[in-house]
Amino acid sequence: MRRRRIILDDEDEDPLSGVANLFDVAMVFAVALLVALVVAYNVPELLDDEADLTVVKNPGQPNMQIIIKEGKTLKVLNMTEELAGGQGSRMGTAYRLESGEIIYVPDDGDADN
Protein backbone atom coordinates (compact mmCIF):
# COMPACT_ATOMS: atom_id res chain seq x y z
CA MET A 1 0.00 0.00 0.00
CA ARG A 2 2.76 2.39 0.91
CA ARG A 3 4.62 1.65 -2.30
CA ARG A 4 1.55 2.44 -4.41
CA ARG A 5 1.10 5.80 -2.71
CA ILE A 6 4.70 6.78 -3.44
CA ILE A 7 4.29 5.94 -7.12
CA LEU A 8 1.13 8.02 -7.36
CA ASP A 9 2.77 10.97 -5.62
CA ASP A 10 5.61 10.98 -8.16
CA GLU A 11 3.13 11.33 -11.01
CA ASP A 12 1.80 14.73 -9.93
CA GLU A 13 1.62 16.59 -13.22
CA ASP A 14 -0.32 19.47 -14.60
CA PRO A 15 -3.73 18.13 -15.66
CA LEU A 16 -3.79 20.57 -18.60
CA SER A 17 -0.44 19.49 -20.04
CA GLY A 18 -2.16 17.29 -22.62
CA VAL A 19 -4.26 20.20 -23.90
CA ALA A 20 -1.20 21.91 -25.39
CA ASN A 21 -0.89 19.15 -27.96
CA LEU A 22 -4.52 19.55 -29.01
CA PHE A 23 -3.71 22.90 -30.63
CA ASP A 24 -1.01 21.29 -32.77
CA VAL A 25 -3.39 18.52 -33.80
CA ALA A 26 -6.07 21.09 -34.69
CA MET A 27 -3.63 23.05 -36.88
CA VAL A 28 -2.53 19.93 -38.75
CA PHE A 29 -6.18 18.97 -39.26
CA ALA A 30 -7.06 22.46 -40.56
CA VAL A 31 -4.21 22.47 -43.09
CA ALA A 32 -5.10 18.96 -44.24
CA LEU A 33 -8.73 20.02 -44.67
CA LEU A 34 -7.73 23.05 -46.78
CA VAL A 35 -5.52 20.92 -49.02
CA ALA A 36 -8.32 18.36 -49.40
CA LEU A 37 -10.78 21.10 -50.42
CA VAL A 38 -8.39 22.47 -53.04
CA VAL A 39 -7.85 19.00 -54.48
CA ALA A 40 -11.58 18.20 -54.38
CA TYR A 41 -12.45 21.33 -56.37
CA ASN A 42 -9.71 20.54 -58.93
CA VAL A 43 -8.06 23.93 -58.47
CA PRO A 44 -4.40 23.13 -57.74
CA GLU A 45 -3.50 26.58 -59.07
CA LEU A 46 -4.47 27.98 -55.67
CA LEU A 47 -1.45 26.27 -54.15
CA ASP A 48 0.98 27.25 -56.95
CA ASP A 49 2.81 30.54 -56.28
CA GLU A 50 3.43 31.21 -59.98
CA ALA A 51 -0.05 30.39 -61.33
CA ASP A 52 -2.59 33.06 -62.28
CA LEU A 53 -6.27 32.38 -61.65
CA THR A 54 -9.55 34.29 -61.95
CA VAL A 55 -12.73 33.08 -60.26
CA VAL A 56 -16.19 34.64 -60.59
CA LYS A 57 -18.52 34.02 -57.65
CA ASN A 58 -22.29 34.47 -58.09
CA PRO A 59 -22.16 35.57 -61.76
CA GLY A 60 -24.97 37.92 -62.75
CA GLN A 61 -26.13 38.41 -59.15
CA PRO A 62 -26.03 41.70 -57.21
CA ASN A 63 -23.43 40.23 -54.83
CA MET A 64 -21.09 39.05 -57.60
CA GLN A 65 -17.38 38.93 -56.77
CA ILE A 66 -14.34 38.52 -59.00
CA ILE A 67 -11.33 36.94 -57.31
CA ILE A 68 -8.03 37.48 -59.13
CA LYS A 69 -4.86 35.62 -58.12
CA GLU A 70 -1.68 36.80 -59.82
CA GLY A 71 1.30 34.94 -58.41
CA LYS A 72 1.21 35.47 -54.65
CA THR A 73 -1.13 38.47 -54.73
CA LEU A 74 -4.87 38.02 -54.32
CA LYS A 75 -7.46 40.70 -55.20
CA VAL A 76 -11.20 40.53 -54.52
CA LEU A 77 -13.41 42.84 -56.57
CA ASN A 78 -16.94 43.37 -55.27
CA MET A 79 -19.35 44.39 -58.01
CA THR A 80 -21.69 47.31 -57.40
CA GLU A 81 -24.83 48.67 -59.03
CA GLU A 82 -22.81 51.40 -60.75
CA LEU A 83 -21.93 50.95 -64.40
CA ALA A 84 -18.28 50.99 -65.38
CA GLY A 85 -17.29 53.69 -67.82
CA GLY A 86 -14.32 54.85 -69.82
CA GLN A 87 -12.71 54.56 -73.21
CA GLY A 88 -11.97 51.19 -74.75
CA SER A 89 -11.72 49.23 -77.95
CA ARG A 90 -13.46 46.14 -79.26
CA MET A 91 -11.46 43.00 -78.55
CA GLY A 92 -13.68 40.29 -80.03
CA THR A 93 -17.10 38.67 -79.90
CA ALA A 94 -18.68 36.36 -77.33
CA TYR A 95 -21.27 33.76 -78.36
CA ARG A 96 -23.64 31.86 -76.05
CA LEU A 97 -24.33 28.35 -77.34
CA GLU A 98 -27.62 26.51 -76.83
CA SER A 99 -25.94 24.48 -74.08
CA GLY A 100 -25.26 27.70 -72.14
CA GLU A 101 -21.54 27.61 -72.85
CA ILE A 102 -19.97 30.95 -73.82
CA ILE A 103 -17.23 31.08 -76.44
CA TYR A 104 -15.05 34.15 -76.97
CA VAL A 105 -13.61 34.78 -80.44
CA PRO A 106 -10.92 37.50 -80.65
CA ASP A 107 -11.13 39.92 -83.61
CA ASP A 108 -7.64 39.07 -84.87
CA GLY A 109 -8.71 35.50 -85.76
CA ASP A 110 -6.96 33.59 -82.95
CA ALA A 111 -9.80 31.51 -81.50
CA ASP A 112 -9.37 30.38 -77.88
CA ASN A 113 -12.11 28.07 -76.63
Pairing of strands 65-70, 73-78: antiparallel
pLDDT grade for 111, boundaries at 50, 70 and 90 = very low
Percent of the chain having pLDDT more than 70?
A: 82
- Dihedral of alpha carbons 78, 79, 80, 84, sign: positive
Residue 60 zone, left/alpha/beta (φ > 0; ψ -120 to 50; rest): left
pLDDT grade for 16, boundaries at 50, 70 and 90 = confident
pLDDT of 106 above 80: yes
